[in-house]
């Protein structure tokens, strides 16, 4: 079986065939750098990180480009609010973006162009559209003539009449008057009042949002690419307009495959800064949620489906990660007890082959993992394979920690070593790697700190003696969220076990 992907453009699941053998060119729409990234951004970039890793693992040479939008109304407004320059706002948030993505284990793109550094390419593209009759200028603004693009709407499945209905009341009267047609969109915006701008043939101004990506795609990857990525909220108008202006300028297909991830919802509504219901990646990590818990939370749902964000969902992901992390740590923490000589783990999906880790006993898991990933990146099914591989490894670790000295006589440790090695490397394909106390993960600290657990049990016992059963129940639930189950014995002794052992 080979990789199949859902192509938004054709609305079909298609076998992936690159333009050039073993080479894949990918463009991913990046962030507008006026604020910290939220969980919706994490969802998108984790999904596409998995796609990139899997392609590399399958032997493709991947060039992955992701842009920064560093000139925009939101950036200008933020700069005005803070009394600083547009550049200061952008630089601060670009730095924060890298910190957040690095924390989540997301591979850095091969290139990260900025709109302000691509002005020549943007202006040249606008000039081509004007010269060829697909765009026109009005008093410093330049608009794209949507009615001259015959297949406009092919990505979003919108017809012009529907677009007109949706546009009613959204576009200002003055802009209606300036345009040849209400559907036309801006390629270049003339600077107003004291707004910062850049010199151009049409006067000082700045590029429209859509033309920025078209120019950066062409400059970095050429006229036609293999895969274009983004969130489902970008299908219209952003990606629809990208296609229109790029293909009218070049006469070539912009991208052969268009992939879009579903949204993160909070209470049934899309998480977004405009709605004020967003949670930043930074706040989640500072609260003690581990980076790998967030990766697991995202990958438990198919990339195309919406995912609901809640404390309950995060706790479930945290519990699952605690169990998986214990299995991943096994060969690193107990190599001498197990007789496993190799304690170094190479998570690189680029140079490390896993073929030597596949045995007859693990061949089924390996094949099911590949089948799941080839099926439109079914990370949920791929994770199920990882949990299956991890189960006996967690059980082995529990025996070691409880001082059971018979484990070496009952278990084939050599077979479990190869199982652990396969688990580690398949996890690496998904960008998952063990976390330790050195990672400052609050959940991991709770998990392996016996003193913490015993203190919690003592506090719960005292609460029960005071008949403060609410607090006692809360302590039990807190431990459960950290992957620890309490067992109350008839003699008053409370024992504990790791969940999913």
| Nearest-angstrom CA–CA distance, 251 and 248 | 6
Query: In sequence order, which ranges of 104-172 are alpha helices (DSSP H)?
Result: 119-131, 160-167
The DSSP string of 346-395 is ---TTT---GGG--TTTHHHHHHHHHHHHBT--HHHHHHHHHHHHHHHHH
187-215 pLDDT, tens digit each: 999 998 878 899 999 999 999 999 999 99
Beta-strand pair 141-144/61-66: unpaired
Sheet architecture: strand order including 23-28 = 61-66, 23-28, 225-231, 255-261
CB-based burial, 130-159: b 16+ in 10 Å, e otherwise: beeebbbbeebbbbbbbebbeebbebbebe
Q: Please tell me the pTM assigned to this model.
A: 0.84
379-392 pLDDT, tens digit each: 999 999 999 999 99
pLDDT of residue 353: 56
pLDDT of residue 401: 81
CB 61, CB 24: distance < 8 Å: yes
pLDDT of residue 210: 97
| pLDDT-wise least confident of 139-143, 267-271, 335-339 | 267-271
Banded pLDDT at 481 (limits 50, 70, 90): low
pLDDT of residue 136: 98
Sign (positive or negative) of CA dihedral 265, 267, 269, 271: negative
Banded pLDDT at 346 (limits 50, 70, 90): low
Please classify residue 441 by burial: count the beta carbons closer than 10 Å to its beta carbon, then call 0-12 exposed, 13-18 middle and 19+ buried: buried
Partners of 137 in the β-ladder: 142
Q: Which two tokens stand for residue 126?
A: 């606008």
| Nearest-angstrom CA–CA distance, 342 and 332 | 8
| Nearest-angstrom CA–CA distance, 238 and 214 | 10
Q: Mapping DSSP to helix (H, G, I), strand (E, B) and coil, where does residue 341 land?
A: coil
Q: What percent of the chain has pLDDT over 90?
A: 64
Q: What is the mean pLDDT of the chain?
A: 87
Q: What percent of the chain has pLDDT over 70?
A: 87
pLDDT of residue 446: 39
User: Domains in the chain, ordered, with CATH?
Assistant: 23-282 (3.40.50.620), 316-436 (1.20.120.640), 449-498 (no CATH)
Banded pLDDT at 443 (limits 50, 70, 90): very low
Asked if the model's pLDDT at residue 479 lies above 90, the reply is no
Q: What are phi and psi for residue 4, nearest 5 degrees?
A: -120, 140
Q: Which of 392, 422, 389 is nearest to 410 (CA)?
A: 392
Partners of 266 in the β-ladder: 269
Q: What is the DSSP letter of 238?
A: I
| Nearest-angstrom CA–CA distance, 501 and 498 | 6
67-102 pLDDT, tens digit each: 999 999 899 999 999 999 999 999 999 999 999 999
Number of Cβ within a 10 Å radius of residue 272: 15
């Amino acid at each position: 079986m080979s990789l199949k992907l859902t192509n938004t453009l054709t609305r079909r699941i298609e076998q992936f065939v690159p333009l050039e053998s073993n080479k894949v060119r990918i463009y991913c729409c990046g962030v507008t750098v006026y604020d910290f990234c939220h969980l919706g951004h994490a969802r998108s970039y984790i999904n596409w990180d998995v796609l990139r890793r899997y392609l590399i693992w399958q032997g493709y040479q991947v060039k992955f480009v992701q842009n920064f939008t560093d000139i925009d109304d939101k950036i200008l407004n933020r700069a005005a609010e803070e009394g600083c320059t547009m550049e200061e706002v952008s630089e601060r948030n670009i730095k924060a973006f890298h910190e957040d993505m690095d924390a989540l284990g997301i591979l850095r793109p091969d290139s990260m162009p900025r709109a302000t550094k691509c002005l020549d390419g943007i202006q040249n593209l606008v000039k081509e559209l004007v010269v060829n009759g697909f765009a026109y200028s009005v008093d410093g603004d330049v608009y794209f003539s949507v009615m001259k693009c015959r297949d406009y709407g092919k990505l979003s499945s919108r017809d012009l009449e529907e677009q007109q209905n949706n546009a009613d009341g959204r576009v200002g009267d003055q802009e209606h008057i300036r345009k040849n047609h209400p559907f036309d969109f801006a390629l270049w915006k003339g600077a107003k009042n004291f707004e910062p701008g850049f010199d151009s043939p049409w006067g000082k101004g700045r590029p429209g949002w859509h033309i920025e990506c078209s120019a950066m795609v062409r400059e970095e990857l050429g006229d036609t690419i293999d895969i274009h990525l983004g969130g489902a909220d970008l299908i219209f108008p952003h990606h629809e307009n990208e296609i229109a202006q790029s293909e009218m300028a070049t006469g070539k297909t912009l991208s052969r495959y268009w992939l879009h991830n579903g949204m993160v919802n909070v209470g049934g509504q899309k998480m977004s800064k405009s709605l004020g219901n967003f949670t930043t990646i930074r706040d989640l990590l500072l609260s003690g949620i581990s980076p790998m818990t967030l990766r697991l939370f995202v990958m438990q749902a198919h990339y195309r489906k919406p995912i609901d964000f809640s404390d309950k969902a995060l706790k479930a992901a945290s519990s699952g990660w605690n169990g998986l992390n214990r299995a991943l740590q096994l060969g690193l923490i107990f190599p001498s007890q197990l007789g496993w000589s190799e304690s170094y783990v190479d998570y690189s999906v680029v140079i490390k082959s896993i073929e030597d880790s596949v045995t007859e006993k693990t061949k089924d898991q390996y094949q099911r993992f590949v089948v799941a990933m080839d099926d439109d990146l079914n990370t949920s099914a791929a994770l199920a394979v990882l949990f299956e591989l991890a189960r006996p490894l967690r059980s082995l670790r529990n025996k070691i920690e409880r001082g059971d000295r018979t484990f070496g006589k009952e278990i084939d440790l050599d077979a479990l070593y190869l199982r652990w090695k396969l688990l580690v490397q398949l996890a690496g394909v998904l960008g998952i790697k063990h976390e330790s106390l050195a990672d400052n993960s609050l959940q991991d600290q709770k998990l392996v700190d016996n003193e913490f657990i015993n203190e919690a049990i003592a506090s719960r016992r005292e609460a029960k003696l005071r008949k403060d059963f609410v607090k006692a129940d809360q302590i039990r639930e807190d431990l459960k969220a950290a992957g620890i189950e309490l067992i109350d014995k008839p003699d008053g002794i409370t024992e504990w076990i790791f969940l999913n052992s």
